[in-house]
Amino acid sequence: MQIAVFTVDAFTNQPFSGNPAAVCLLENDLDEALHQKIATEMNLSETAFIRKLNPGDDFTKSSCFGLRWFTPANEVPLCGHATLAAAAVLFHIKKNTNSVLTFVTLSGELKARQVEDHIVLDLPLYLTYPQVLQEVEELIKAAIGDMIVQDLRYSPDTKKLLVRLSDAYERSVLEELQVSAQRFLSAEKTGKVKGLILTLKGNSSGKHKGHDFYSRYFAPWYGILEDPVTGSAHAVLSSYWSEQLGKKEMLAFQCSRRGGELKISLRNDGRVDIAGQIAIVLKGNLIF
């Protein structure tokens, strides 16, 4: 059996930066257990599987497809960068003729469209609520030691904990922070956290001006110690920073080693458009 597979770096226009995802195009149904085996083999934070919803569908002409995402350890309900990567394969490699693609996923219908040199994802927007420090104190200490926390929020829909560092810190502090995410597993006692976001307000002056906020994202609960650029985390960050900054249009930068930039636009229907660029770095076939 052969399956076409691609590696796409998302939220960047430079190869070998941004967030890499594998994308598999399924011409036929795939045995359920093989999804996880392939994702484990690809060993990227996500492997996306695009499937036809009807037998007569065509990757070049159809506008609606099924989409699933797997980490090396398990299936996940939402992955922004692998959705961007999936849309890139259809638009750029399959030369799909539709202006908008719809993906049927575990998080409902997600839409992707091309706008100049970006692909725009229409994602759910997730609200955050104040979180009591005592409940998660050990986890935060494991993440940032004695650094000053300015705000603490929790997103029940995504099980993500948002930790805002003091505005007194520079971007370089977030970038240079040494995080041992493996320790989070024993430090998280509540059972309700499945992702940890560290975030910092942007600096309107200096060499990095122009970004409204910065972040790093850790998900050892899903087998990902640090994710380079995370669309789903920005579905949470967007609602938080929009409220804090009083802005609907924002530019964000995720400060991982690879790094990546996201253009954010809150919509009037309670969702969020997150746009990024892509670089396709590998084309091949899985043979088994």
- Give catalytic residue positions: 46
What is the amino acid identity at position 134?
A: Q
Q: Which residues pair with 121 in a beta bridge?
A: 112, 274
Residue 175's φ and ψ, nearest 5 degrees, are -65, -40
Does residue 35 sit in helix, strand or coil? helix
Q: Is 239 helix (H, G, I), strand (E, B) or coil?
A: helix
Q: What residues form DSSP beta bridges with 49?
A: 24, 68
C-alpha distances out from residue 142 to 137, 172, 228, 229, Å: 9, 20, 20, 22
> What does the angle CA 128 – CA 220 – CA 78 come to, to the nearest 5 degrees?
55
Question: Which residues does 259 contact at the CB level (< 8 Å), separation at least 6?
Answer: 12, 17, 18, 228, 229, 253
- What's the CA gap between 115 and 84, in Å, rounded? 13
Per DSSP, the three-state class of 248 is: coil
